[in-house]
Amino acid sequence: MKVAFIGDIVGRPGREMLEKHLHKIRIEYNLDLVIANYENASHGFGLTKKNCEELLSYGVDVMTGGNHSWDKKEVFELYETEPLIRPINYPNSSPGKGLIEIEILGKSVAVINVMGNYTMPMCDNPFIKVDKIINELLDKGIKHIIIDIHAEATSEKLAMMHIVKDRVSALFGTHTHVGTDDLAIIDGCCYVSDVGLTGCRDGVIGMDRQIPLQRFMTGIGGHYTIPKKCQKILQMIIFELDENGRGINAKKLKIYDNGKEVKLDAQIESYNLN
């Protein structure tokens, strides 16, 4: 099973990169499933119905969220009709769900979205919540389990990796918009602390740099916007799973708007040394 995971899609520039490249990537890598994080896809904050339909038409199959999941209120109704999820550790009474199960190549695949604690909205303990959900999925015979951990702190992401690595197929970090270079398959679990944004690469985490710089230099904030013109990048992880949901290989793919492509293969290693 060949899967792609795209990190935070930030505004129109991010959507344009998917429109331009995703279809041919699906063909080139023979992808069976594409997962992408939507929480910044509409003007940098949340997701509209129009942009949801747009991303699905480009070849995204499942979309995960984060702390901006509900910024556009029209998303509430989309949870009932589209393959969207939000962090599973929000209260059960919150709109949407944090887990989706789909059938791919005769296998049940579970995609989970969970949010960290540090600097994030108040939610249930992500570690306890995910640990319980994974055990329930395994009891149902589901071995292909992919998690988007939307968190600020790399320490939380690494801790989650140690908790789940022997039981899930992949754990990918989102939220910081800055890609990390620690892609690895660890005891069969594909992992990276942050995939990195798809959108403008020459601003501040995908946003126009004027207001962030003003805030850092003067303490005076303002409304963050997406630049109308910028230098863009698409960042994604492409990985392959075996019949038991264990990672076989993985690579980071970066595509720049000037056509340059950068590929980095995952380190394959074991942390079970005892």
**Residue 144 among the catalytic residues:** no
Distances (CA, A) of 204 to 10, 176, 178: 11, 11, 10
Residue 166: how many other CB atoms lie within 10 Å: 13
Q: How far apart are CA 126 and CA 3, in angstroms?
A: 24
Q: How far apart are CA 61 and CA 233, in angstroms?
A: 21
Choosing from 21, 68, 150, 175, the catalytic residue is: 68
In the DSSP assignment, the letter for residue 191 is E
**How is 224-273 classified by DSSP, letter by letter?**
----SS--EEEEEEEEEE-TTS-EEEEEEEEEETTS-EEEEEPEEE----
Residue 272 near residue 203 (C-beta atoms within 8 A): no
Q: How far apart are CA 166 and CA 175, in angstroms?
A: 24
What positions carry a catalytic annotation? Answer: 68
